[in-house]
Amino acid sequence: MITILGAGLGGLVLARILHINGMDVRIFESDASASARHQGGMLDMHVETGQAAIEAAGLYEEFRKMVLEEGDAFRILDKTGRVHLAEVGNDLRPEVERGQLRAMLIASLPEGIIRWGHRATAIAAEADGAYTISFANGLS
């Protein structure tokens, strides 16, 4: 079994890729639930990193549905309304809402893979090559 600590974007996308490739995976996350904490604002998703990971996770079509169209357009105006910089978006770094992206990744994993309320406090290497993880909730 492969253990991942943290159900952030990195941990979730890794778990999804391992899962669809037939690996047994668990995520231990310190937050009590998926909605325990606001996840912040917008993310721009680069072709060679974020988008490549989503593609590898088999979720690209679903991801495109949450893209904020023209969210990558950018303008700087002064207080008189004069435009100093105007960039039209080119969709190379589309903007998505972090919470929505995380929710999509969570929903893409079977129930039970994410163990909420497990804050890792220590990792100990055992003589047989295994590892023991201790959690703040007293489990290990």
Task: State which residue, 46 or 75, has the beta carbon closest to ligand FAD.
Answer: 46
Q: Is 47 or 86 the residue whose CB approaches ligand FAD more closely?
A: 47
Based on the shown chain and the rule CB under 6 A, indicate whether residue 6 belongs to the binding site for ligand FAD. yes
Nearest approach in angstroms of CB 31 to ligand FAD is 5
Select from 51, 53, 54, 35 the least CA-distant residue to 99. 35
Evaluate the CA torsion angle 17, 18, 22, 28 in order and state its sign.
negative
Short-list 65, 84, 88, CA closest to 76: 84
Complex with ligand FAD: residue 41 or 81, whichever CB lies closer: 41
Interface positions, 66-85, toward ligand FAD (CB under 6 A): none
Q: Whose CA is closest to 88, among 73, 102, 68?
A: 73
Helices (H), ranges, 1-140 = 9-20, 52-56, 60-65, 98-107
**Candidate residues 15, 16, 25, 43; the one interacting with ligand FAD per rule CB under 6 A:** 43
Residue 10 within binding range of ligand FAD, rule CB under 6 A:
yes
Binding residues (CB under 6 A) for ligand FAD: these are: 5-11, 28-31, 43-45, 50, 119-120
